[in-house]
């Protein structure tokens, strides 16, 4: 029946949403714990000066725990079609949604008070800053890190530091993290011939928030939409749960029979009046002298919820989508190290990242449809699963063909990216540390230097102006891993990393081809199994059997 199919889809979508809620609760709980134990970020600065942050951390832990409990109740309530658990889930979710709205409104209308409190916290930190006394090192380290990376000084402006006794008594010194070209990272340094950052960190933080406003709003709206969908689905499912059982049967000449004759599945048992078990039958009532069979509603419910009155699905049918999802996740994780180098120099890599996100999302939806379709023997969901899987398989083949025929263009683009990275390489300025760290890691592990050859590094200003230094990752026996090192009595790797990458690909060609072929075989098996299962699903209806 259409209504039954709608109810099943609602139930499994609600299960999926609640699984997301459970994961979200775990993330919030972890964030709250991180605030309490973290000593190396901006949170540490605030925590040491404001007790309200500790209160906020405990609130996050409570909200995360409540969200996890809510997700658990929703999952169990959806699977078991329990009105009680669905009601509790609805109540918890409504409370959390209202709390989020109230928190957002309070933050908006109290933003000036929050700004003043933040100013007080930072002013107090600047006033008591003394890196050599070791009393508040974690907060001072973090504040230096913020000033250095946001290229700011003080909170409102660099004049905030004139309140510090050490700066007030000696105008020749200033915090090292406020000086533009200072290699020292903490404490006080001489400001002679040094440029002090002019903007305050309040402006830097606001600029960061403005640049990331789209992401922040997107996350908030996404969470709110998921919560609203959870509320709606829980109401719909709760309203459609009837005080009746659904027993699979086949329609034949308008009469009901308890199941297809060819079905080898479980045959529901009922209790005789004398306590013995017998198979449930649709035969006419016995004569007056015979013993009538009683239908046990509780037993029937247990049978149906266990799924024993249905055709048992093949284990491989439901396992295929999960296997595909696992393989896709491993592929995404494996790409990380090469993405970091290219991302800062190539917009096409960002486009590729969005494509990967889209493919990953499509794969998750496909896996969900395949699992639900296989378990519930739904032709509609299996058809959608087949379509999604076929689209992904075709897209992979097209991507492989494009990469093969565009390999020269890709090689040129990669050369441009690496040349630009080498040209701007300056590990001490902290501007592009993640990409530089990754490139050093590649050179060190592939035992290569530069892209075409080690002569590529002569384009770097630091190497060009001082022939006695070379990247540490290019030197064969150098223990230092990043930045520039003395090349005296050192052996520089002679091969370029283009050759090293090609050598690595050649050595691992069997593994790469094996993974690609393995994924393709699994996808083909998924297509074949979904077709086979879809063809063997009988045209059966779900007929209501009222409870006695």
Contact by Cβ (8 Å): 261, 252: no
Find, among 45, 233, 11, the residue nearest to 144 by Cα. Answer: 45
Report the C-alpha gap between 340 and 499 in whole angstroms. 20
Report the C-alpha gap between 220 and 157 in whole angstroms. 32
Q: What is the pLDDT of residue 351?
A: 60
Q: What is the pLDDT of residue 511?
A: 84
Q: How far is CA 292 from CA 235, 283, 347, 490, in A?
A: 40, 11, 76, 96
Report the C-alpha gap between 146 and 142 in whole angstroms. 6
Contact by Cβ (8 Å): 299, 269: yes
189 - beta bridge partners? 174
Contact by Cβ (8 Å): 175, 181: no
Contact by Cβ (8 Å): 164, 127: yes
Report the C-alpha gap between 79 and 375 in whole angstroms. 13
CA atoms within 13 A on the CB side of 544: 10
Buried b / exposed e over 383-395, threshold 16 CB at 10 Å, is: ebbbebbeebbee
Report the C-alpha gap between 381 and 157 in whole angstroms. 60
The terminus-to-terminus CA distance of the chain in angstroms comes to 23
Report the C-alpha gap between 436 and 434 in whole angstroms. 6
| All structural domains of the chain with their residue ranges | 2-114+216-240, 116-209, 313-548
Q: What is the pLDDT of residue 180?
A: 86
Q: What is the pLDDT of residue 290?
A: 43
By the 10 Å C-beta count (0-12 exposed, 13-18 middle, 19+ buried), 26 is classed as middle
Q: What is the pLDDT of residue 246?
A: 43
Report the C-alpha gap between 119 and 46 in whole angstroms. 11
Contact by Cβ (8 Å): 321, 362: no
For the domain with range 116-209, which CATH number is right: 1.10.1450.10, 2.40.50.140, 3.20.20.70, 3.40.50.720? 1.10.1450.10
Contact by Cβ (8 Å): 313, 326: no
Contact by Cβ (8 Å): 38, 138: no
3-state class (DSSP) for residue 459: helix
* Count of beta carbons in the 10 Å neighbourhood of residue 212: 11
Contact by Cβ (8 Å): 22, 234: no
What is the full DSSP assignment across 359-375?
Answer: HHHHHHHHHHHHHHHHH
Query: Where are the extended beta strands (E) located within 237-283?
Result: 244-252, 255-257, 269-271, 277-279
One pLDDT digit (tens) per residue for the chain, 548 residues: 455 666 677 677 777 766 776 777 777 777 777 766 654 454 444 444 445 556 666 777 777 777 777 777 777 777 777 777 777 777 777 877 787 788 778 877 877 878 888 888 888 888 888 877 766 667 788 888 888 888 889 888 888 898 888 888 888 889 998 988 888 888 888 888 888 888 888 888 888 778 877 787 878 887 777 778 777 877 777 777 654 444 444 444 444 444 444 433 333 333 333 444 344 444 444 444 444 444 444 444 444 443 434 444 444 343 344 444 444 444 443 444 444 444 444 444 556 566 667 666 767 777 777 777 777 777 777 777 787 788 778 877 888 887 877 778 788 888 888 888 888 888 777 666 677 888 888 888 888 998 888 888 988 888 888 888 899 989 988 888 888 888 888 888 888 888 888 888 888 888 888 888 888 888 888 888 877 777 777 644 444 444 44
Report the C-alpha gap between 402 and 348 in whole angstroms. 14
Q: What is the pLDDT of residue 330?
A: 42
Q: What is the pLDDT of residue 258?
A: 44
Report the C-alpha gap between 444 and 342 in whole angstroms. 18
Contact by Cβ (8 Å): 496, 453: yes
């Amino acid at each position: 029946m259409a209504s039954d199919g709608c109810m099943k889809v609602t139930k499994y979508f609600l299960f999926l949403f609640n699984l997301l809620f459970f994961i979200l609760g775990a993330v919030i709980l972890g964030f709250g714990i991180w605030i309490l134990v973290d000593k190396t970020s901006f949170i540490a600065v605030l925590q040491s000066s404001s007790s309200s942050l500790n209160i906020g951390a405990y609130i996050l832990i409570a909200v995360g725990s409540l969200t996890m409990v809510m997700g658990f109740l929703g999952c169990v309530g959806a699977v078991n079609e329990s009105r009680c658990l669905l009601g509790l889930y609805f109540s918890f979710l409504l409370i959390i949604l209202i709390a989020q709205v109230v928190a957002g409104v309070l933050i908006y209308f109290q933003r000036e008070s929050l700004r003043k409190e933040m100013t007080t916290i930072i002013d107090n930190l600047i006033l008591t800053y003394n890196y050599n006394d070791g009393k508040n090192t974690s907060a001072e380290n973090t504040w230096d890190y913020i000033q250095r990376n946001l290229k700011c000084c003080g909170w409102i402006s660099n004049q905030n530091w004139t309140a510090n006794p050490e700066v007030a008594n000696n105008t020749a010194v200033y915090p090292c993290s406020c000086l533009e070209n200072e290699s020292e990272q903490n404490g006080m340094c001489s400001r002679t011939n040094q440029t002090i950052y002019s903007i305050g960190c309040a402006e830097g933080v606001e600029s960061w928030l403005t640049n990331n406003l789209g992401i922040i709003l997107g996350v908030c709206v996404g969470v709110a939409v998921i919560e609203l969908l959870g509320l709606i689905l829980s109401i719909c499912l709760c309203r459609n749960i009837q005080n009746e059982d659904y027993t699979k049967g086949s329609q034949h000449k308008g009469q009901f029979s308890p199941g297809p004759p060819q079905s080898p599945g479980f045959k529901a048992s009922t209790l005789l009046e004398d306590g013995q078990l017998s198979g449930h039958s649709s035969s006419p009532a016995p004569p007056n002298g015979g013993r009538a069979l009683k239908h046990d509603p509780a037993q029937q419910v247990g049978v149906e919820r266990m799924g024993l009155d249905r055709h048992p699905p093949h284990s491989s049918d439901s396992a295929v989508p999960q296997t595909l999802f696992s393989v896709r996740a491993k592929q995404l994780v494996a790409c990380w190290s090469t993405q970091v180098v290219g991302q800062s120099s190539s917009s096409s890599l960002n486009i590729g990242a969005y494509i990967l996100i889209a493919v990953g999302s499509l794969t998750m939806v496909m896996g969900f449809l395949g699992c639900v379709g296989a378990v519930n023997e739904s032709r509609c969901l299996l058809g959608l699963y087949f379509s999604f899987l076929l689209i992904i398989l075709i897209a992979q083949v097209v991507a492989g063909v494009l990469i093969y025929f565009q390999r020269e263009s890709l090689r040129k683009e990669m050369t441009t990216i690496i040349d630009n990275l080498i040209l701007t390489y300056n590990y001490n300025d902290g501007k592009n540390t993640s990409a530089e760290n990754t490139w050093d890691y590649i050179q060190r592990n592939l035992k290569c230097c530069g892209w075409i050859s080690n002569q590529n590094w002569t384009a770097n200003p630091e190497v060009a102006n001082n022939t006695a230094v070379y990247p540490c990752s290019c030197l064969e026996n150098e223990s230092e891993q990043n930045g520039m090192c003395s090349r005296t009595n050192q052996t520089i790797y002679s091969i370029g990393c283009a050759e090293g990458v090609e050598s690595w690909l050649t050595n691992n060609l069997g593994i790469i081809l094996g993974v690609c072929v393995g994924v393709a075989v699994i996808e083909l098996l998924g297509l074949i199994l979904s077709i086979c299962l879809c063809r063997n699903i009988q045209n059966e209806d779900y007929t209501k059997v009222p409870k006695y």
